[in-house]
Structure formats: C-alpha cells, structure tokens
A and B are shown apart, each in its own frame.
Chain A
Amino acid sequence: GAVVSQHPSRVICKSGTSVKIECRSLDFQATTMFWYRQFPKKSLMLMATSNEGSKATYEQGVEKDKFLINHASLTLSTLTVTSAHPEDSSFYICSARVPARPNEQFFGPGTRLTVL
C-alpha cells in the first residue's frame, strides 16, 4: 500500500516552454503532497507543500509563478515549471502523506527534467 507515482519519469524540453509533472497517490487519498527538488549529488530541498483544494505553501526562495502547483483532487497534484530554463534542470520528487500516518511521507520515483 501507499504507492505514489510520477509522470513523466524523464522529460527533455526546450528553453522557454512549460512542463507539467504529475504526482498521483495510487491506493490512498492524500490530503497533503510535497514537492522536492534535488540537484545532482545534492540533498532534497522542499519546494512546496500542497494541500487538496487550497493554495500551495511555498518555501522561502521558491518562485510561486515559476513553479505552479495544483492539488485538485485527493489523488493528484501537479507541478508546472513555467518558461523553463536550463537552470531548472533537476530531479523533482513528490511525496504524499497518508492521513492515518501523518508523520510519514511516501515518495514517488522522481522526474528528471532537462531543459536545453
């Protein structure tokens, strides 16, 4: 149980385009999802916390207009990287929290974004 999927697993796009990454909880309803970013050989940095039906809470230094997060249902959160640039190239990982186990997060497999 508590499986989280991400789509796509890998995406390459041109500079200036927008990219949408989906995070789904497959066998549970997730009221809260988290989005992380990981640069090569670096740690995971929390970008934002996404709550179903409300606006995401962004961490300091994360551009809200650049990284649009939508959590429209209890099983889906999306991260859209708008007007992507090469410096946005990174590994993006989402996680979801099971309401019955609030102190655990279940991670998706990650999405590797490369912006040319």
Chain B
Amino acid sequence: AQKVTQAQTEISVVEKEDVTLDCVYETRDTTYYLFWYKQPPSGELVFLIRRNSFDEQNEISGRYSWNFQKSTSSFNFTITASQVVDSAVYFCALSESFTGTASKLTFGTGTRLQVTL
C-alpha cells in the first residue's frame, strides 16, 4: 500500500526566510510518480511539480526547489526567500505508474505554511 507522510503540520516563517517542507513516501512499486500541490485559502489545488521515480535530479523553478532522494524515500520541497503569497497548505502526493487502470493519487496530510511580514 502507498503512503505519504508529511510530518510537519504547520510551519510559520518570517518573510524572506527559506523553508523546507518534508515529504516521505512508501511504495512497493519500482515505477511511481511524486507530486507537490499548493492549496491556497480559495481551496483550488495548484500543481507545482511531478517527478518520476527514475529521475533523481533535483529541480529548481524560481524560488522553488525540490530534492528527491530515493535512498531515503524523500521528496522535499524548499521555498527560498519566502513571501506572504506562499502562505498555503502544501500537499505531497504519490501515484503508482499507470498500468491501464486508473492510477490513484495518495496524498499526504499536508503542511500549512504561514509566512508573516
């Protein structure tokens, strides 16, 4: 069974601080996909990144970066120089590889990030 753990329930930082959101996953599949989503107060999920299990390269997109470590089953997300607009709930999710039937997404419990001035 798949499982995603986001141990940090809430994080509060001051603007311009860097912050890392942790994500640890469990799966028996050798091929899988990892995702990060942002959910602002409006409720709509915003897709941030997708990473497949064969690609362990770290990725940077502006102030966002992701560190995928297969050895520790972790897919951590760092926001550099945080801004108030980054305040949201962030979800890490795991999907088994598409096999012809619907590939389900398993979500972590989310980390609420509060960025204050």
Contact with B along A8-51 (1 / 0, CB 8 A): 00000000000000000000000010100000011111100101
**Cross-chain contact A103 with B33 (CB below 8 angstroms):** yes
Tell me which residues across on chain A come within 8 A of B97, comparing CB atoms. 103
Q: Which of A62-70, A73-81, A105-113 contacts the other chain? A: A105-113
Interface size on A, residues (CB 8 A): 25
Q: How far is the CB of B62 from chain A (nearest CB, A)?
A: 21
Q: Which of B14-22, B72-80, B98-106 contacts the other chain? A: B98-106
Residue B107 interfacial (CB < 8 Å) = yes
Q: From B98, B104, B106, give the contact of A49 (CB < 8 A).
A: B104
Task: Give the contacts of B80-117 with A (CB-CB under 8 A).
Answer: 91, 95, 97-98, 102-110, 112
Residue A91 interfacial (CB < 8 Å) = yes
**Cross-chain contact B102 with A57 (CB below 8 angstroms):** yes
In the bound complex, CA of A51 to CA of B42 (Å): 28
Contact with A along B43-65 (1 / 0, CB 8 A): 11101001010000000000000
Whether A42 touches B109, Cβ cut-off 8 Å, given contacts A103-B98, A103-B103, is yes
Q: How large is the interface on B (under 10, 10 to 19, 20 to 34, 35 or more residues)?
A: 20 to 34
Which residues of B are in contact with A by a Cβ distance under 8 Å?
Answer: 33, 37, 42-45, 47, 50, 52, 91, 95, 97-98, 102-110, 112
Which residues of A are in contact with B by a Cβ distance under 8 Å?
Answer: 32, 34, 41-46, 49, 51, 57, 91, 93, 95, 97, 102-110, 112
A-B contact pairs, 25 of them (CB 8 A): A34-B104, A42-B110, A43-B91, A43-B107, A43-B109, A44-B107, A46-B106, A49-B102, A49-B104, A57-B102, A93-B43, A93-B45, A102-B103, A103-B52, A103-B98, A103-B103, A104-B47, A104-B50, A105-B95, A106-B47, A108-B44, A109-B43, A110-B43, A110-B44, A110-B45
Q: Closest 10 A-B residue pairs measured CB to CB? A: A102-B98, A107-B45, A109-B44, A49-B102, A110-B43, A43-B109, A44-B107, A43-B107, A103-B33, A32-B102
